Every structure is written in C-alpha cells, then in structure tokens.
A = this chain, B = another copy of it.
Amino acid sequence: MTGTLYGVGLGPGAPDLMTLRAARLIENAKVIAYPTLAGAASFARSIAADLISKDAQEIVMDVPMSVQRAPAQAAYDKGAAQIADALNAGHDVICLCEGDPFFYGSFMYIHARLAKGFTVKVVPGVTSVTACAAEAGRPLVARNERLTVLPGPMDEATLRARIAGAEAVAIMKVGRHLPKIRAVIKDLGLTDCATYVERATLPEQVVAPLSQAPDKAPYFSMILLTKGADPWL
C-alpha cells in the first residue's frame, strides 16, 4: 500500500489561522516535507512548528537563490524523489505550504511531479489576500463586484492596463517592485484607495495607507485597491 501525499495549506502566518484539518494532519504526521530558500529557515515550518512531532521525518527541499529556473527545478526533482520513496514505503507525506497550496503555493511544484503517480489530497488554506483585507479592515468584494489578483513582478505596462480595467485589486509579492507599483497607482489617481500590508497576521505586521508605506517592502507584502464599503450595502 502506497501512502497519500497531502498538500496542506497553513494560512497567512498566524498559527491559529490554520484549519482544524491541517492541524490534525500535522499533529499525526510521520513524514513532513517543506521547502527552504537558500538555507534560510522555512516560513511554512515555523507556522506549524508547535504541532510537529519530534519523531517526524523531515524532508527539506532547499531551493537555491537564482534567476535561472533549472536549479530550483533540480531541488524540487530531488525533493519529489524523496517524497516518492516515503510514499512507496507506505507512509503518508504531509507537504507544508504557507497560504493555500494551489494559490501561488510551492506545493504546485511537487504536485506537478507526483500527481500522476500517487494519490494526492489538497487541504485549502486561508490566502494572504483575505487575511490582508481582514487586517486592514477593508472589505474586498460584495455582490456583483469582481476581484483581480496580480503578481507584483508583472511588467509596468501590463500592470497599468490590468489595474485600470479592474474593480477590486490585490497585488501580491510586492517586495522590490514597490516603487514601480506605487508609481503606476499614482499615475492612475488611485493612491487614496490603496492600502499596504506586510507580513499579515504576524506580530511584525504593518498596515498603512499606500501613501505612508515604507520605502522597502519584503516579499510577503501586498497592496489592496478597494473602493471602500458600498454605502448601499
């Protein structure tokens, strides 16, 4: 009997924003897997740390920092092979993923390699989009409004066109793209609708109007563009 691979979303960062299902799977896990970036501590593991058994086997996929894709792909190839070994030995494997596994989640790299050969179950998690809205106290979308989620690394022209044609917008992975995004939003006259959130739900969280955002943003930061509450709600 081969084991089941679980892609488990952990939510935005606060450990108690994990789902009950995720917590139960992690508490009972004999084999867990997660990525690290260039040897740094794993954010995903830190969210789940209090629930991980001391006896659990940990498969660490260390992804090197590189603009090339091949080194990261090699790291996921190696991790997927280790996970496959555990599954073939009959163990379930709990793959930890911050946020939601299928929403910009690292689990997709493992899913792409193993979904055809093994039983895979995905446990959805709270995404940073709704966590940022909650922390900012800003409703995202109601009734027949639409929401557009854009990654900050998009080129400036595309970003401008997508924001201009949108209603509510969440711009993910702001990081070093903050000056570009800020300039586009200013050009479009939308600065007063924009809220900046970094490290949502963590103790070091920052929430500010975009006009008062810091000059440097970490990778885990977001800009929300919302029109504010509809007075006719």
Interface residues of A (CB under 8 A from B): 9, 11-12, 14-21, 23-24, 69, 73, 76, 100-104, 108-109, 111-112, 115, 120, 122-127, 129-131, 133-135, 137-151, 153-154, 162, 165, 229-233
Residue in contact with A100 in the complex, picked from B130, B146, B229, CB distance below 8 Å:
B130
- Which of B19, B127, B134 touches A122 (beta carbons < 8 Å)? B134
- CB <8 Å contact, B124 and A233: no
A122 CB to closest chain B CB, in angstroms? 4
A127 contacts which of B101, B104, B127, B146 (Cβ < 8 Å)? Answer: B127
In the assembled complex, the Cα of A23 lies from the Cα of B16 at a distance in Å of 10
Contact of A148 among B21, B103, B146 (CB under 8 A): B146
Q: Is the CB of A122 within 8 A of B102?
A: no
Task: For A233, list chain B residues within 8 Å (CB).
Answer: 73, 76, 108-109, 112
With both chains docked as a complex, state the minimum distance between the C-beta of A20 and any C-beta of chain B, in angstroms: 4
Question: How far apart are the CA atoms of A137 and B130 in the complex, in Å?
Answer: 22
Contact of A151 with B162 in the complex, beta carbons under 8 Å: no
Question: What are 21 A-B interface contacts by the 8 Å CB criterion?
Answer: A20-B23, A101-B134, A102-B130, A102-B133, A102-B134, A103-B129, A104-B141, A104-B142, A104-B143, A111-B139, A112-B229, A112-B230, A115-B137, A122-B135, A124-B126, A124-B130, A145-B151, A146-B148, A146-B154, A148-B149, A149-B149
Residues of B within 8 A of A9 (CB): 126, 130
Q: Are B134 and A124 in contact (CB under 8 A)?
A: yes
- Given A69-B232, A103-B130, A115-B137, A146-B149 contact (CB < 8 Å): yes
Known: A101-B134, A103-B140, A146-B162. A124 touches B19 (CB 8 A): no
Docked Cα-Cα span, A128 to B21, in Å, equals 16
Query: Assuming A122-B134, A137-B115, A139-B108, is B11 touching A16 (CB within 8 A)?
Result: no
